[in-house]
Amino acid sequence: MDVRSQVAMVFHLDKCIGCHTCSIACKNVWTDRKGAEYMWWNNVETKPGTGYPTRWEDQQQYKGGWERDGKLIKLRAVDKVRGAVTVFHNPALPTIDDYYEPFTYTYEELFTAAEGADQPVAKPISMITGKPMNIEAGPNWDDDLGGSPVYAANDPNLEALTPEERQQMFDVEKLVFFYVPRICNHCANPSCVASCPSGALYKRGEDGIVLLNQERCRAWRFCVSACPYKKTYFNWSTGKSEKCILCYPRLESGQAPACFHSCVGRIRYLGILLYDADKILDAVNVPDSELVDAQRRMILDPFDPEVIAAAKERGIGDDVISAAQRSPVYKFVMEWKLALPLHAEHRTLPMLFYVPPMLPVQAKVGDYGYDTSVEGFLGSIDQARLPLKYMAKLFGAGNEAPVRYALRKQLAVRHHRRALQACDITPEQAQALLTEADCDVEQADAIHRLTAIAAFEDRFVIPPMHREEAIELLDEDTLAAKGSTGIGFREGPARGP
């Protein structure tokens, strides 16, 4: 058993209101720079929709992730032989037009324009060329366009559905959409790392954060195509790739990452998962339908004395183990089985899990709205407005079972609360639903508490990262570093000669 600790995450989609506060928090802290204007390390997209970059889920085009290859797995984007040619021109690389051309406006003209008969206007100009441009796309351009023939109808996940099912989804009375906020998943089997020829990408051993060393990146740009989530970005100005750093400077000082901290819907949870690195291959080399379960088998129980002993043997500290025991992520993913990985079929073992949203799933029974009676309520998931097949394509690697389980349990918990608060159904009825959904009252209350009323320190359980030891770790002389400009990267981020 090779125990590793990982800072893992849960996004509770039923709570996301699509406000983009998270994206702005990230943008202001990290990507408000030349060459990075188009980057949204955190983005929020509307589903069904084409997403950002456009149709990023279409791996025929972008070749992200891994595929099975006998006893092993191999990258779709690059192998050592083909890479020798594709390094000169990478056919699977998205270009700026797959995101959008960044723009600003000539605001000064509002003040400096010569006096005249007309009101001066601020014209849009490209942030690449500085020239006037026509804006054809921008950040979250498909926001809220649930039924749009341009965006929703081109969602790559719709291929799981029959033409009739698709048609039904776009009936005006049934139109529906939900939000998926996305950041780097800090995967346990990251394809970005495996694809980087210069070894610039790496996973931090202590907390599993996946980072990209700016001093070693040489712009071979394989990571951009290899990440199936398109969460490494190419900075066209500096000629280096960049990605989400999970705000590690904040984590190291005990703060939640900016997007987590600012989340208005309080949909985000962060905590430690312990996993067995020896089981990584077993967790990915299984058929698609078994991937969700296989990934769960890789994750270890932090209360198991054997696991604790093995973790200590690997130098994992008591404070980390205790954080793993209090981890909200462990509860959502392992104890309650409510949270699922996004597109597990790419076999990167994402360490960000999603609680699938219940609202757009809820059935439209009859012509006059929802059936809110209790009988057959759980079954309504199967006649949902968003077909379960569609949700399974996103969160179950095509397998409906884990998604159905998570949705049924959420509905049952809702009924349990309804019996307690609205009192229009009896506790017995609620109890029956709970039992049917593999849940009991104690668990239902715990789910309710962590979902609805969790405080900051329940949602973010961050073990101390012992920042005070950071300088010593870098083998720098603490006294010499005193009063200097700090440690680490000291070059300006300008394009090289």
Where on the chain is the footprint of ligand SF4 (CB under 6 A)? 16-22, 44, 179, 181, 184-187, 190-192, 210, 227, 229, 231-232, 243, 263-265, 267, 348
Q: Are strands 268-276 and 3-12 parallel, antiparallel or unpaired?
A: antiparallel
Instruction: Give CA–CA dist 448/403, Å, rounded.
Output: 19
Q: Which residues here bind ligand HEM, judged by CB under 6 A? A: 87-88, 220
Round to the nearest angstrom and report the end-to-end CA distance of the chain.
Answer: 48
Task: Closer to other proteins by CB, 175 or 310: give it.
Answer: 310
Q: Which does 125 bind (CB under 5 to 8 A by kind): ligand HEM, ligand SF4, other proteins, none?
A: none
Of 46, 5, 23, 6, nearest to 260 (Cα)? 23
Rounded CA-CA distance 168/367 in Å is 14
In this complex, which beta carbon is closest to other proteins, that of residue 43 or of residue 238? 238
Give the bridge partners for 235, in sequence order. 240
DSSP secondary structure letter of residue 233:
E
Please state the φ and ψ torsions of residue 165, each to the nearest 5 degrees. -60, -40
Q: Which does 187 bind (CB under 5 to 8 A by kind): ligand SF4, other proteins, ligand HEM, none?
A: ligand SF4
240 interacts with, out of ligand HEM, ligand SF4, other proteins, none, CB within 5 to 8 A per kind: other proteins
Cα torsion 56, 59, 60, 61: sign: positive
Find the part of the chain contacting other proteins (CB under 8 A) among 46-54, 167-175, 231-239, 289-297. 231-239
Options 153, 219, 420, 471; binder of other proteins; rule CB under 8 A: 219
Name residues whose C-beta falls within 8 Å of residue 46's C-beta, 6 or more positions apart in sequence: 18, 140, 142, 143, 144, 145, 146, 151, 152, 177, 178, 179
Q: Using CB under 8 A, which of 194, 247, 329, 406 touches other proteins? A: 194
d(CA 279, CA 301): 14
Q: What is the residue type of 237?
A: S
Q: Is residue 464 classed as helix, strand or coil in its secondary structure?
A: coil
At residue 453, φ and ψ (nearest 5 deg) are -130, 20
The contacts of residue 175 (CB under 8 Å, 6+ apart) are 146, 147, 169
Residues 123-162 that bind other proteins (CB under 8 A): 126, 128-131
Compare residues 33 and 449 and give the one whose CB is closer to other proteins: 33
Q: Taking CB under 8 A as the criterion, which residues in 76-95 touch other proteins?
A: 80, 83, 85, 87-91, 93-95
Binding at 310: pick from ligand HEM, other proteins, ligand SF4, none (beta carbon under 5-8 Å per type): other proteins
Q: Which entry of other proteins, ligand SF4, ligand HEM, none binds 267, CB below 5 to 8 A by partner kind? A: ligand SF4
Q: Is 373 in the site for other proteins (CB under 8 A)?
A: no
Q: Taking CB under 8 A as the rule, does residue 218 contact other proteins?
A: yes
User: What sign for the dihedral angle of Cα 149, 152, 158, 164?
Assistant: negative
47: left (phi over 0), alpha (psi -120 to 50) or beta: beta
DSSP state of 276: E
Residue 242 CB, nearest approach to ligand SF4 (Å): 10
Q: How far is the CB of 76 from ligand HEM (least distance, A)?
A: 20
CB count within 10 Å of CB 438 equals 13
For residues 236 and 97, give the distance between their C-alpha atoms in angstroms, rounded to a whole number. 13
Q: Which residue is nearest to ligand SF4 (CB)?
A: 265
Site string for other proteins, 382-411 (x = CB under 8 A): ------------------------------
Tell whether residue 236 is a contact of other proteins (CB under 8 A).
Answer: yes
* Binding to other proteins in span 295-314, by CB under 8 A: 310, 313-314
Q: Determine, following the binding rule CB under 8 A, whether residue 287 of this chain makes contact with other proteins.
A: no
Q: Which is nearer to ligand HEM, 56 or 234 (CB)?
A: 234
Taking the complex as a whole, the smallest distance from the CB of residue 212 to ligand HEM amounts, in Å, to: 17
204 token code pair: 């931090």
Reported as type and span, the H/E element at residue 232 is strand 232-235
Q: How far is the CB of 217 from ligand HEM (least distance, A)?
A: 12
Q: Closest CB to ligand HEM belongs to which residue? A: 87
Dihedral over alpha carbons 133, 134, 140, 143 (to 10 degrees):
160
Q: C-beta of 493: minimal distance to ligand HEM in Å?
A: 19
Tokens for 78? 């690059």
H/E element, 10: strand 3-12
Closest approach of other proteins to the CB of residue 235, in Å: 9
Query: Which range in 193-201, 352-360, 412-420, 440-448 contacts other proteins by CB under 8 A?
Result: 193-201
- The residue whose two tokens read 């609805």 is 452
Which chain residues interact with other proteins by CB under 8 A? Answer: 75, 80, 83, 85, 87-91, 93-96, 126, 128-131, 189-190, 193-194, 197-199, 201-206, 214-221, 234, 236-240, 310, 313-315, 470, 473, 489, 491, 493, 495-497
